Chain A
Amino acid sequence: DQQVKQNSPSLSVQEGRISILNCDYTNSMFDYFLWYKKYPAEGPTFLISISSIKDKNEDGRFTVFLNKSAKHLSLHIVPSQPGDSAVYFCAAVKRGSNYKLTFGKGTLLTVNP
């Protein structure tokens, strides 16, 4: 069963516009969420995280929004740059689970110049 879902396998945006990547989860025991970015042949790189006690966290061009009632989070990238082109993974952590990450399948973001 897929507890963390990224329903869009790919997303294409123009440089300078906003990129919005979405993630849904089914397990209400998740209390911490992270976004990782991955280039081909490299490991995931941590981008930004959010605790379930918050609804927004911002770091530079990256903002993550959490809607607990809808079990939905999103990553906004503004403005998008060609170097942002990568696969973005949403991951979640359950309290008391030894901090192991449960990942979605990823969304391939392409930012066109």
Chain B
Amino acid sequence: NAGVMQNPRHLVRRRGQEARLRCSPMKGHSHVYWYRQLPEEGLKFMVYLQKENIIDESGMPKERFSAEFPKEGPSILRIQQVVRGDSAAYFCASSPSGDEGGRQPQHFGDGTRLSIL
């Protein structure tokens, strides 16, 4: 499967615990985006990364959330001290480049459903 791979598909955490969501982009893609979808809402942009660089984190909450895309391995979205409001579907998308005008559409993984007890 050459698509965007996210794991785990489902993650249950208790309030105060940490959640780690992983994303492996499509082969040949070097740009990773994270989006969050709350119930009954559209997807909202969180962060855009390239290898070893955070390019745009304007959609990330200021506290408890962080993201990385190391030289080797998947991109990680980390949520510390989770609260009930963090319950959502988290989607990762990748693209081969950041061509002006978005001529390369982003390809999405199937998401991680995070539930906070």
Q: Which residues of chain A have a CB within 8 Å of any CB of chain B?
A: 4, 6, 31-32, 34, 36, 41-46, 49, 51, 89, 93, 95, 98-106
Q: Which residues of chain B have a CB within 8 Å of any CB of chain A?
A: 4, 6, 31, 33, 35, 40-45, 48, 55-56, 59, 91, 93, 95, 98-103, 105-111
Q: Which residue of B lies closest to A49 (CB)?
A: B105
In the assembled complex, the CB of A11 is this many whole angstroms from the nearest CB of chain B, namely 16
Which A-B residue pairs are the 3 nearest by beta carbons?
Answer: A43-B108, A103-B42, A93-B102
In the assembled complex, the CB of A52 is this many whole angstroms from the nearest CB of chain B, namely 9
Q: Please determine whether A98 and B101 come into contact, CB atoms closer than 8 angstroms.
A: no
- Given contacts A31-B101, A43-B91, A43-B110, is CB(A98)–CB(B55) below 8 Å? yes
In the assembled complex, the CB of B99 is this many whole angstroms from the nearest CB of chain A, namely 8
CA–CA, A104 to B55, complex, Å? 24
List of A residues within 8 angstroms of B33 by Cβ: 100-101
Q: Which residue of A lies closest to B101 (CB)?
A: A32
List of B residues within 8 angstroms of A103 by Cβ: 35, 42-44
**6 chain-A/chain-B pairs, Cβ below 8 angstroms:** A32-B101, A42-B110, A43-B6, A43-B111, A101-B33, A103-B44
